[in-house]
Every structure is written in C-alpha cells, then in structure tokens.
Structure 1
C-alpha cells in the first residue's frame, strides 16, 4: 500500500492554516511588544489550542482544506466578500450530498461535521458563519429529509467476547498492557482517548487527560472527558484473571511505571515499556485484531467484521451487559441523559414497561 502524500498545493494550504491559527491571537497593532506581553500571547495561543482536542483540530483543518480546494476549482475564494458567503456554502453542502463528479456522496452526519469545521475555521479568522441563514439552513434541511438514515451503531463487545479476546493475547509485557486496556476500557465504559490519556498522578504531564487512585476495593479514575470532568469507579472483579484493577496493578508493576502516562509503547520484543504515550488509534487496532483472532462474528467476511467493531464497542458492551439500574450505567458512561445511554444498549428488555397495558388496553 502506497502512502498518500499531500500535493504541493495541499502543503501550502496546510501551512497557511497553521499560520492563520498562529496569527489568530496576537498583540493589537497599537500596543508595543515586550517580553512579558509576548509570553502572554504564547500562553493565550496554548489555551486557544486546548479549546478543541487535537483530533478535532486536525479534522477541522482538513474540512477547511477541502472547502478551499472546492472553491478554487470553481474559480471562487472562501474569503471573498461577503465573507462567509451563505450561497456558496449552500452550494458546497449540496455538492457533498449529490456530487457533480465521481465522488461518493457524504452522509448527513459527515456533512454536518464539515459545516462545524467551516464554522470553527471562519471564527478563527474573525468571521461568523450563520448556519441559520436560509441559503444554508434550507439546503441542509432538505439533505436531512432526503438522505438521513438511522445512525450506524458499532457492535457491542460483551463479557464472553472480552474473555475470548483476552485469550488471544501473548503473555509478555505488551500482552499484559493490552489486557489491561481491554479490561479497563470495558469495565469503565471508557472512550479510547480517555484510556490512553490517563496518567499515574494528577499533573504528571501537560497532555494528561486524567489520573488514577487505587484503593482496596477498586480504582478511581478522574477524567477530563469530552463532556467535562467526571469520576469513574471501577471495582475489583470476581477473579484476578478478569479483574481490571489487578491487571492495572500488574502492568504498572512489571512495566515499572510510577510517573507519567500509564499506557506507553513497548520495545519491539514486547518486553520493555518505553516512555512515549500510546496513541488512541492503538485501542481501535487492538480491538479489531482481537475480534478477528478470537473468531467473533466469524460467519461474516473479514471486512464486515472489522467494520462492525471500534473503540466504542467497549462502551456499548458495558451498557449492554451491566444488569444494574440504568442510572448507574448512565453515570459510568458520563451521559447527560438516559436516552443517550439507551442508544448504547444493544440488548435490553425494551418492553419491560408496557404502557399499552398500563393505559388499560
């Protein structure tokens, strides 16, 4: 497989995006610079960057690059007056839904994400994109009405699946780390980014997304998650072989990790922990590889099996398997509503509460 490289035009465009991001926060022209003020500019830029995750910023930068390229191909300028131009953006999203060339049409959710990316990028440049403008809102409403489909849900990884996946892992240090990732992610209902962002202690690293506290009954995770700060309690399991807390303790002990990122890369031979934090993509790759090796949904072709599972399969597995009051599952997953939690429940007694009979019919 050949690795895709950006064209010279794309490289110039990406450089321009980075330059715009740097210039978005600067000293007013009438204020003379000084060492203290220049340092504050750098600090403000760091905070502005932290307003969105790295993955979100990368996606939004690609959204802008695609829109700018689309405009150039049609002899237009995304920053021409009036800026932003609602009619132009309405035409753009219409072309995403029903392309005039050989490209595949995008889903409604992807088109809405593209619009969010354009809104963010225009705001970065000091402009306001009014998504309620009729040239945008009416086109988007028509796209939703004509092309919207129920959201595609990833398959839930259930308890028996986790056990089968654990059995496929080797008994070296790398295997111990990956066991801990699967067990902790499943029992905590964690996102893949939450798993790899954990540190041993509070404020160990600048890019920390949370830390742990180990108690006799379990481990407490304090997470700076997608929806804000939250605590996740993970109790000890019924046996050491399936206990996420025991696996975590073993990993930290044998990897000799007492500071900084919990989940790090390992040496090529899988016997030594390195200092570099794991990327969240490792979690997705780990899940897909173990699903194949464990023979889960083996009746399906490999490509379909891989498409069914992702990092969210761990969260869906906890929501679907935990036989407890729904409120506890909602709290563990960090959802603001019970309805969101129900979307993650792949198997549940949907008609346990029968309003038809309760209404006298």
Structure 2
C-alpha cells in the first residue's frame, strides 16, 4: 500500500515539504501509516458530510467538539445532522452502523487528527479544556467490557495439538516454525513474524548450544535503533532451522508463501497469512476455526508463563510488554483461579 500523503505546512518550499514528508514516512511504522491513511480519509469525509467543508489547519474547536459528540452515542433513533453524516459515511463504506463506535476507535481517530496538527506545528483543538473534558465524559459514557483480542489463549497443550498437524512438507515445516517461534520467543505479533528476514536470525550458537537469536528491527513497543535480540531454544530453534534448510533460505524474508505444488515462493508472507495458517491448523486439530486468533499465541505465552510460575518480569523480557498493568492481566486470570479464597465452600 502506498503511504498516505501527509498534511504538511504550506509555508514550506516544495523541496522541504517533500523531504519532511519522506522523513515522517521513514520514521513511522507501516501499521501507523496505514492507520493514519484510513483515519484521514474518515475524518475528511465526516467533516464534508457534517459541515460541507474540507478540513482546516488548525481545525476549529467547535468542529473537534462536534466530532466527539457525534461519536459518543448511538445515532439509530436520533434523526438530525449527526445521523445524516453517519449515514453518508455508511454509504461510502467508511462506517458500518449507526451504533456508538468503540471508545478505542474514537481515541485512535483523535490521536491521528492530533498527529496531523503536530506535523504542521499547530496546536490541536482536542487540547482545548472543553473538548478534552467532553472526550473524557464520552469515553466513560461509551465504556464497555474489555473484549480480548483472542477468544482463548493458545497455551502449551493446545499449541502441541496444532504442531502435531504439521507434517514434513515445506508447508508443514513452515507452519511448525511459525507457531513455535511465535509462542516460544515471547508471543510475537503477526507483523513481527512476517517482518523477519533470514539476516535477522543469528545461528552462531546453534551447533553448540541449540540456540538461535532473533533480531526484531521494529515492534509495537520498540524502535529500529533499539532492535531487541531474543533467544529461541530447543524444539523451537530446531523448527526454524529445519525450515531454513529445507526451503534453502539464504537471505530475504524468512517466512514465505508455499505453492500448491509445495514450492517456496520468492516473497514474504503478509501479516494476515498468519491468521489463515492458524485457522487451517485449528481445523486440522479438530478445533473450531474461531477457537483463537493469532493474538492467542501472545496471550498463550503469558498465560503459560503464569501457569508455570515464571516471574512476570522474566516473561515481559520476552514479550516486550512495556506496561506491567497490561501484562499482569494474564497473570491475574491464572492467580485468581488458584486463590484459596475461591474454595471456601469446598
């Protein structure tokens, strides 16, 4: 996907504008660029539908306030300009229903809008006291129970059943390596798995220690200049090495599509391919395809670490969580089940 055209200061020369735009694109993760692109399209379409105007820089506080209010309630039974604008967005394929959007969706779009103002060195209207206070109230009013990213964590016993479905064809070797690497290296995200290159796999210690090293150039919580190195041991390391050798991967993307004729193709897997692979393995293991999502590998790693009594800090060293509160949620689910106070009635 082509990176979005970034809104830049009109005062800059064409040369400076191009240089600054290129710098923002190179310094911003691809996932963030894609989110910005979607949000910019949505925001611009909303303002045209609501006010009949294009976006302004800086945007007016009244427009920012109206954006929050229009996305803070269910519009199904409230005819008026807000509903009309929402229907126009639905017609354009930018909105699904008239129901109140999730608070996280509103937060992300506002964050994108604020980022566009920062790129222009302009103050954001969402920082105005009334707008900021309204946003807090809207978030609380629309709060809903936290929905996990995966219906279930893929703990070790479930993972083993998926691994057993992987034969020794190239497709089986690849899928085994993906599943084991994703789990054993700390619960890697889809984008982190598919971004790996052969050059990111350090094999110098494999012959003597059965250990390989993964270099993650960029993750959701780390930047390229941090590039964490994570160890992969035992069966997981062997699975990755078996795939590398069988597929004869000397450089370039580590995980690649495999044709129906069991031939490795010369391009990287897309992140959504991990979802397809997981569904396929769940089906072969006799489980429903919606039993878990790829995030279940991440949740499964932390849940299994809690079940095995691994210290939270040790698990976070591999999962690369920055928030103790976020990582602790997986441990809390395990700990409360084992709490002796739950057995007071026998």
TM-score, with length taken from structure 2: 0.78
Q: 2:302 corresponds to which residue?
A: 319
Correspondence for 1:260: 252
1:125-274 paired onto structure 2 within 5 Å: 125-153=120-148, 154=150, 155-188=152-185, 189-201=187-199, 211-214=200-203, 215=205, 216-224=209-217, 225-228=219-222, 229=226, 230-236=228-234, 243-269=235-261, 271-274=262-265
**Cα displacement (A) at 1:109:** 0.9
Q: Aligned with 1:233: secondary structure?
A: strand
Aligned partners of 1:277 and 1:51: how far apart in 2? 22
SS at match of 1:266: coil
Higher strand share: 1
Aligned twin of 1:68 = 44
**How much does 1:148 deviate?**
1.3
| Ranges in structure 1 where 5+ consecutive residues have no aligned partner | 1-13, 202-210, 237-242, 299-304, 356-361
CA distance 1:256–1:41, change in 2 (3 Å): farther
User: What do you get for the CA RMSD once the two structures are aligned?
Assistant: 3.0
**Aligned with 1:280 (options 250, 271, 280):** 271
Query: Is the Cα–Cα contact under 8 Å of residues 64 and 126 in structure 2 kept in the other structure?
Result: no
**1:295: which partner in 2?**
286
Task: State the distance in 2 between where 1:163 and 1:136 align.
Answer: 51
After TM superposition, give the deviation of residue 340 of structure 1 in Å: 2.3
Superposed displacement of residue 353, structure 1:
8.8
* Offset at residue 333 of structure 1 (A): 0.6
Match in the other structure for 1:95? 70
Normalised to the residue count of structure 1, the TM-score between the two structures is 0.75
| CA shift in 2, pair 1:86/1:44, >3 Å | closer
Using the TM superposition, give the Cα deviation of residue 123 of structure 1 relative to its aligned residue in structure 2, in angstroms: 3.1
How far has the Cα of 1:99 moved from its partner? Answer: 4.5
SS at match of 1:276: coil
Cα deviation 1:69-98 (Å, max 9, x = unaligned): 1111123434337x2112212211222232
Aligned residues: 306
3-state SS in 2 of match to 1:88: helix
SS in 1 for 2:132: helix
Q: Which residue of 2 is the match for residue 58 of structure 1? A: 34
Higher relative contact order (CA closer than 8 Å, sequence separation 6+): 2
Secondary structure of the 1:274 match is coil
Residues 132, 187 of structure 1: alpha-carbon distance in 2 compared, 3 angstrom cutoff: same
The answer to whether the 8 A contact 2:213-2:229 is kept is: yes
Q: Give the match for residue 117 of structure 1.
A: 112
